[in-house]
Amino acid sequence: MLRAFGRLVDGLGGRYICAPDVGTNAHDMAVIREQTEFVTGLPGSGGNTAIPTARGVFEGIRAAVDFKYGRNDLEGMRVAVQGVGGVGSSLCAHLCDAGAQLVVSDVDEAALKHVVGETGAQAVDPAEILFADVDILAPCALGAVLNDQTIPKLRASIVCGGANNQLAETRHAVMLKDCGILFAPDYVVNGGGVLGGAAQVGLITKAQMEASLRGIGETAMRIFRIAEERGVSTEEAASSLAEEKLLEEGGATSPHPTA
């Protein structure tokens, strides 16, 4: 199956470059590499894209705390991390170093035990993690965790994590806004993984990657401010900013200006 996937990727001629994610690893990427050069995260390549992903999420959390609380540190802040796989465990290390108090969960008992031992985090049942009494919720597992059932029960005032597609539907960003919860759009703050992969295949330099990782917090802050100024959700603000950037790159003028 992996080789067949590799042939499919190769047929796209470089328009798509694959990398490890949930359920796959460097060994799987090596099998795919038998069929295509358009793959990252290979064994021994230093290509663990979870590391730059976590770094970007951490920068996003710092920006969210600055915007929400006017603080430039995380000392003593309580953070719930849902999922302590590659991204979640690396994020926990950053948060621990910054003085945050961690609450964590995972269905993988071994991974959970490791993070608790490394950081002194409090482990809770996976069914309880979203509703923990914390300042920040960092979803780092699967998607669609922010929905009609979960949002009313959230106790965190900031949601910023590495999982993809955290909103079950786009409208849930408005629901978070109406609940007074600051949401950092996932595709903004978890962009470090793409940056890491791009550096591996030579699309950008490591120096460019580092600069862009540092800039994730700045981009998140810009999105928070746009949302506040326009009275829209952060998801809408992020989409608007992304559209503007794409139009700038393409040298075109939007026929449908955003608000």
pLDDT cut 90: percent of the chain above it: 84
- Mean pLDDT confidence for 51-73: 97
Return the pLDDT at 44.
74
- Mean pLDDT confidence for 50-70: 97
**DSSP code for 146:** B
Q: Which two tokens stand for residue 66?
A: 């600055």
- C-alpha gyration radius of the chain: 19
pLDDT tens digits for 146-188? 999 999 999 999 999 999 999 999 999 999 999 999 999 999 9
β partners of residue 104: 81, 123
Instruction: Note whether 73 and 49 are within 8 A (CB).
Output: no
Q: Which architecture characterizes domain 50-190+221-241 according to CATH?
A: 3-Layer(aba) Sandwich (3.40)
- Mean pLDDT confidence for 186-202: 92
Phi, psi of 75 (to 5 degrees): -55, 120
- Mean pLDDT confidence for 187-200: 93
- CATH 3.40.50.720 in the chain, residue ranges: 50-190+221-241
pLDDT tens digits for 8-28? 999 999 999 998 888 888 899
| pLDDT level of residue 36 (50, 70, 90 thresholds) | very high
Q: Is 177 helix (H, G, I), strand (E, B) or coil?
A: helix
Q: Is a pLDDT exceeding 80 seen at residue 46?
A: no
Q: Is a pLDDT exceeding 90 seen at residue 252?
A: no
| pLDDT level of residue 256 (50, 70, 90 thresholds) | very low
Least confident stretch, 17-31, 130-144, 213-227: 17-31
| pLDDT level of residue 53 (50, 70, 90 thresholds) | very high
- Mean pLDDT confidence for 217-246: 96
β 136-139/158-159 pair status: parallel
